[in-house]
Structure formats: structure tokens, C-alpha cells
Structure 1
Amino acid sequence: MTDSSIMLTIEEGKSEDIAIVPLCVSIAGISYREYEEISADQFMWHIDNGEIPSSSSPTLLDLKEAYDSTDDEILHICMADGLSSSYDSASSYATSPEYVQRVQVINSRTLCMPQQHIVFRARDLAREGKTIPEIVDGIREMIDSAASFLIPEDFDYLRRGGRLSAAAAGIMSILKTVPVLVQSVDGRKLEKLTISRKFDKAIHAVMVALESRGVDLSHRIDVSHAHNKKKAERAIELLRERFPAIEIGLHELGPAFITQGGPKCISIQSVRIVS
């Protein structure tokens, strides 16, 4: 079981034997379950019309329905603690008397595509008949290997999220700089990697960081974007020149992540694929 940070709908999750609880976003005074009640295109329409969004963890009702949908043991793999309250909410709820003996909640320390690959690996191990402790051991290497980089374009979103000061946001907007943020090792926050004047140089900095982390043929790289496909494709072009033998995927971000990274942002992530 996981949350919609893995960028799949509830029905898409069911087809893969994965239960998904959707993250929530609020915009124009209305709260939605992402992917289920609002699409990325619909969400971006509101943003383009000047609406300011916010995001939140899955509702307790959705958690209850997911936990009550089976009498089996549940491994709930949440998106990174610190970047979302999902882990704290699920951990607290799972201590309820009716769930404490059969629901285990773990922090993936990542989000989006690395989280998706981790969840799929956990699903595969469950199909092999592994116990929950064995599954957790089996995905630990993947969790430890995950890396995420963010290249934002709208700095106000980072300012509102407390990831950038108002002064820094203003200066970056005026200078038209291209900042690169990297997820901290513990997964709880975004830190500055570098500030470039050109997009290609920003991607170069990400590639150097990936190499320093030992990204090789055992890894996969994923590039995701918030309605910025052209730049995402340029990022992939540069990455393939540097990592020609590594599989690289292209994806569109969902509403909850757009709320955090801002419209037009680019995310570059890697994870070791264990099989």
C-alpha cells in the first residue's frame, strides 16, 4: 500500500495489486483527491488563472477504507517524511487498536518515481510470499540509493512552502537564475545544490552529483515535469549523452507535487533497481 505520490490512480494501483490512498490538494476553495477528483491539466488551469494551491496528506477516511479493505497484513510505504505529513498521519493512525497488529508503516524517504519503483519491488516480494520484515529488508537498499533533484521556475511556490526566503526568491526571479535543489540524505528537506545562469549548466550540475553518488547501470533515472515537456526532453537529451546505457523515463507530475515544486518545475531522480 502507498500514496498517490507514486503518480498512479487508485484503479491503476489495483491493476498492479497495489492499494493507493490519494494525497489531497486544495485550490479555488475546494479540496480534491489528486488523480481521482482533479487531473494535472485541470489543476494547472486553476493555477494559470491565478489560484494558489495547497496540499495535504490522505484523509483519515481514505486510510480507514484502505486498511479495512483487507484482513491481511499491510505494509504502508509513505512518501518522504518531512516533505509531507503522510508518514506521521499514517503512523499515528496505524497505532489504533484495530490496526496495530497488522499494519506497518515505513518512510520511503523519497517520492514520485523512486517511490514507485520501491513500491513495485515490495509488491514483487509479497507475490513471492515474503514476510513484511523480509520485504522491508528487500527494499532497504533501494530506499538508501534514491536521489532527487528539483529545478523550479516559479520561486514563489518554494517561498510559500518555506524552502526559500522571500529575499532569495525575489533576487532569483530578477536575475533569471536556474537554481538546483537536492533532497537531503534523510529525505526530510530540499537543500541548495547550485545556482546556474543556464538550464544546461544546471543539468550538468545534476549529472555531476549523480556520478558522485555512484549512479551506474544498476540504476534508473526519471525526469518528471509540471507542464514543461520541452525542457524535460532537453534534460533527458543531456542525461542520455552522459549516461547512454541507463534507462531514463519521462513523466508528468501530479497536482500535489506541482503544489510543492511549482508550475514548470523539472524533477530528476535516480534509484538503484534491485531484482
Structure 2
Amino acid sequence: MKIAIITDSSCGISNISSIDDLYLVPLMITKEDGQQVADDESFNSDEFYKLNDSQILKTSQSIPGIMMGKWDELLKEYDQVVCLLLSKGLSGQFSTCKMLSQEDEYKDKVFVVDTNGVSIVLKKQVERALDLKNQGKSAQEISDIIESENDKFQVYIIPKSLDQLVRGGRISKAAAGLAKILKITPVLKYDGTIDKHGKTRTFKKAVEEVLLLLKEYGKDNYIDISYSRIDQDTLEMVKELVTQNGFELRIFDEMPNTITCHTGRETFAFCTWSK
């Protein structure tokens, strides 16, 4: 049985076109004038950051017609398609595609997986799905396994800068100004949705606290990290703290554009998995 894997651009995989049997249907980025840009491989990071620095961007799910068109195209070559998409807690992407996959022409052919994932979580799930496919698993088996493991991760997010959260109206200028004066860094938790976990004094202390939390959770001594653009000194400091805390750094990649739209520059996400 021949199986294709589809993901969206919230996974942060930059070389999808070079990976056998893996395909991208991009999420959309909306400018202030309403014009939409497909967040695909032709929209590079430099272009994105230039645009993001100049205006407040919004994101939206993949265009349904494009998604269904990709299913139709792939089903001419493949027996089944597995879709690993952005968490339902962050977008209507999963719900829309799940509904569309129930149409008669896609039943038992297109499987939309409840990933609970985004960024480094979704990236690992895509890698897992490709591995399962190569083991000879069916689309239903791949879907069942990914869904059975979709809560076995722990993720914390640390925004070093609050500028984007202010621009997007998620926190007030006054609150951000007070946090800056008091050197307060918020710590957020991701479990399919994003919620406040706590706060610390200074970014370095926030990283140290998160690493301790992940050490208590994870069964292996590795950690995955994604980050939006930040100075090299901070990147090296984070790597050093990871090593000092006994972790092996596995993924260390830039954050997907569609996530940076909401968090802005200077944001880190730290993840580990339980067995």
C-alpha cells in the first residue's frame, strides 16, 4: 500500500519538497491590507521577518480548496493520505479538514490525525509518521499511533521580548513596560493550547526553571528547541544551559513563520517527550 503524508507550514520543516512521500499544504499569512501570502517554501525567512517587522500579521488555515485539490492529486498516485496538521486548540485547520475527509470520495482514503501538535512537536510527529509508513503501517495504524502519543510531550515557551505580544494586543503596553522594569520574563505552557505557567526574574532564570521542569518530566535526556530570530550570544547561552543541565540537544531550529506571527522575535520553545 502506497501512503502519502501531508503537513502544513506550522511544522517548521524547511525541506519538505526533498523528502519522499511528504507534501506541504501551507497555512496563510494575512497582511494588514487583507492580502494573503501562502507560507510555503518559496516564502523565505528573510522575507517573512521583513514583513512581520513592518506590520501586524494574522494567520489563517490552509485554503480548503487547495487542500482537497492536493488530496485529489495524491490519490491518483497513492492509495491513502495521512494529514498531520496544526493542533485543533490553535486553529480550525484540523476540524475543517476532518469534516472534508468524511466526504464519500475520501472515506478510508484520507486520514486527518488529531496531532495536538505545532512546531517541534508536529515536526517529530511527521518524522514518526514517515518512519511508521516505512515500516509498512497502514494509514489507519499511523493515525491511531500518533493520536495515542499526542499528549506525551511537555512544552514551555519563553518570550524574551514582549513587543509582538503588545503589538497584537495580547498584553497591554503598561504591563509590558512594568515587566521590563522589573526584569520579569513570563513562562507559557503548551499542551495543544497555550496558557500561562508562571514568571521569573530574567530570561536566564526562566530557561533554568524550564529545564528543571523538563528534566522531571522526560524519560530521556534529550531536548528539542525552536526559536525565533535572536542574537547569537543568547543562542549560545541557551545551548550552554542545556548542556549544563545534562540534556542532549536534538532539534535546534527556527520557529515556523506562522508561530512567530504571534510570538514575535526572541521567543524560545523547549520540548521533551515521555516514552
TM over 0.5: yes
Which residue of 221, 225, 228 maps to 1:226?
228
Q: Tell me, in whole angstroms, the C-alpha distance in 1 between the residues paired with 2:226 and 2:254.
A: 5
User: Cα gap change, 1:8/1:39 in structure 2, threshold over 3 Å: closer, same or farther?
Assistant: same
Equivalent AA in structure 2 for residue 41 of structure 1: D
Corresponding residue SS for 1:43: helix
Q: Over residues 13-34 of structure 1, what are the superposed CA-to-partner deviations in whole Å (9 max), with x where a residue is unaligned?
A: 4523212211111225331111
TM-score by length of 2: 0.85
CA contact (8 A) 1:77 1:108 kept: yes
Instruction: Look up the match of 2:189.
Output: 182
CA contact (8 A) 2:227 2:254 kept: yes
Structure 2 runs not aligned, ≥5 long: 1-5
Q: Select between 128-137 and 234-243 the one with higher mean Cα deviation.
A: 128-137
Q: Select between 56-65 and 229-238 the one with higher mean Cα deviation.
A: 229-238
CA contact (8 A) 1:25 1:54 kept: yes
TM-aligned CA deviation for residue 73 of structure 1: 1.5
CA contact (8 A) 1:53 1:259 kept: yes
Corresponding residue SS for 2:41: coil
Instruction: Look up the match of 1:94.
Output: 101
Instruction: Look up the match of 1:255.
Output: 257
TM-score by length of 1: 0.85
Structure 1 runs not aligned, ≥5 long: none
1:46 aligns with 2:48: no
User: Cα gap change, 1:183/1:70 in structure 2, threshold over 3 Å: closer, same or farther?
Assistant: same
Residues matched between the structures, number: 265
1:238 aligns with 2:245: no
Equivalent AA in structure 2 for residue 252 of structure 1: E
Instruction: Look up the match of 1:55.
Output: 59
1:132 aligns with 2:133: no
Identity value in percent: 27
Q: Select between 165-174 and 12-21 the one with higher mean Cα deviation.
A: 165-174
User: Cα gap change, 1:216/1:169 in structure 2, threshold over 3 Å: closer, same or farther?
Assistant: same
TM-aligned CA deviation for residue 175 of structure 1: 3.3
TM-aligned CA deviation for residue 165 of structure 1: 6.5
Which residue of 80, 87, 95 maps to 1:80?
87
1:24 aligns with 2:48: no
User: Cα gap change, 1:70/1:236 in structure 2, threshold over 3 Å: closer, same or farther?
Assistant: same
User: Cα gap change, 1:162/1:74 in structure 2, threshold over 3 Å: closer, same or farther?
Assistant: farther
TM-aligned CA deviation for residue 228 of structure 1: 1.0
Q: Tell me, in whole angstroms, the C-alpha distance in 2 between the residues paired with 1:155 and 1:241.
A: 27
CA contact (8 A) 1:94 1:105 kept: yes
User: Cα gap change, 1:112/1:132 in structure 2, threshold over 3 Å: closer, same or farther?
Assistant: same
Instruction: Look up the match of 1:265.
Output: 267
User: Cα gap change, 1:240/1:142 in structure 2, threshold over 3 Å: closer, same or farther?
Assistant: farther
CA contact (8 A) 1:225 1:267 kept: yes
Equivalent AA in structure 1 for residue 199 of structure 2: I
User: Cα gap change, 1:92/1:166 in structure 2, threshold over 3 Å: closer, same or farther?
Assistant: farther
TM-aligned CA deviation for residue 65 of structure 1: 2.2
CA contact (8 A) 1:150 1:261 kept: no
User: Cα gap change, 1:39/1:194 in structure 2, threshold over 3 Å: closer, same or farther?
Assistant: same
Q: Tell me, in whole angstroms, the C-alpha distance in 2 between the residues paired with 1:233 and 1:248.
A: 15
Q: Tell me, in whole angstroms, the C-alpha distance in 1 between the residues paired with 2:121 and 2:148.
A: 12
Q: Tell me, in whole angstroms, the C-alpha distance in 2 between the residues paired with 1:113 and 1:13.
A: 18
User: Cα gap change, 1:47/1:40 in structure 2, threshold over 3 Å: closer, same or farther?
Assistant: same
Equivalent AA in structure 1 for residue 72 of structure 2: D
Q: Tell me, in whole angstroms, the C-alpha distance in 2 between the residues paired with 1:167 and 1:80.
A: 31
1:208 aligns with 2:215: no
